Structures are given as C-alpha cells and as structure tokens.
Amino acid sequence: MRYVVLCLMPFILTSVVTPLVSMCANEGQNSSKDSKMQLGNFSVSLVVKDVNISKAFYEKLGFHQSGGDVKRNYVIMKNATSTVGLYQGMFQKNMLTYNPGWDSDCKALPEFMDVREIQQELKKQGIQLDVAADESTTGPAFLTITDPDGNPILIDQHINKPTDPN
C-alpha cells in the first residue's frame, strides 16, 4: 500500500496540490480596486449577553482587544486579520460590518469609496436600503441593508474622505 501511495505522490502533487496553491496565491490579486464597490474593512459584529464573558472566550481563541470599551458594553477583538466586534445591548442581530476608508488595522486609507457613493451604487443595482446615509452630508455616516436570507449588513464609515489633491 505504501508503494502505491509513494508512486502516486508525484501525480497528486502536480495534479492536485500545485493547482490549489496557485489558485490560493492568485486569489488576492483581484483586489477591491477591480470591483465597482469598495466596502472597506470587514468584521463580524456579534450580539452578546455579557461582553466580559464573551471577551474572555475570544481571548482563549487567541484574540486581543484592539478597540472599544467594556464599560461602554462593546469591544473590538482581533486575531491576525480576523476582526470580531462584541456588542452587548446595541444590536438585535449579528451582522456583517464593513468600514469604508479603513484597512484591516483600522488605519485610514489614502483613497476609498465614500459610504454615500456606495449607497448610490446600491440604489442603481436595485438594493433596498433599510437605513440610508444622508447624502447631503460628508464625513462619518452609515447605511444598513439586508441580504436575501435576512442577514443584516452594516456599512459604517468612521472617517472623512480625503479631499482630491487635483
């Protein structure tokens, strides 16, 4: 049996593993700049019963607090590029969250699609807004939508869009 496996190893490596590695390596090359919509940093916002207990649980999974305040009933937890927000008494359901203008370390990007631009694009595509951003304003704003399966999506911009240098 070992002989068969050893004989098949070059076939397995060239037919299965190499294409998978190549596919994973190329996956990041289609950046958000190729897409019409640039939603920004992604995180999952979780409704929790007790922010302290949830924080302790996620710390056991290797997360650390990178933002928020337990006294205000929310914390932002990071583990490498994964971000989870823990919110006690703030939302009704877990939701997907995007932050235009931020990278995965919540640092401002030099260029980004403003939440109001995203909103206009969503409207063009026929997506109904649950809560709309005020398009007569600039700076921080948010909108919410719901996907076809009832999952809420929050697009929450915390920073001003840089002015065009030209």
Q: Are 64 and 55 spatial neighbours (Cβ–Cβ below 8 Å)?
A: no
Residue whose pair of structure tokens reads 């235009």 in the numeric block: 100
Q: What is the mean pLDDT of the chain?
A: 83
User: Torsion over CA of 122, 125, 126 and 129, rounded to 10 degrees?
Assistant: -10
End-to-end CA distance of the chain: 69
CATH 3.40.50.300 fits 31-157, yes or no: no
CA distances from 155 to 49, 78, 123 (A): 24, 19, 14
What does residue 9 show for φ and ψ, rounded to 5 degrees? -55, -45
pLDDT at 15 over 70: no
Domain boundaries, the chain: 1-29, 31-157
Taking the C-alpha atoms of residue 27 and residue 14, their distance in angstroms, rounded to an integer, is 19
Q: What is the value of pTM for the model shown? A: 0.75
How do residues 22-58 score in pLDDT, each as one tens digit?
333 334 434 445 567 889 999 999 999 999 999 999 9
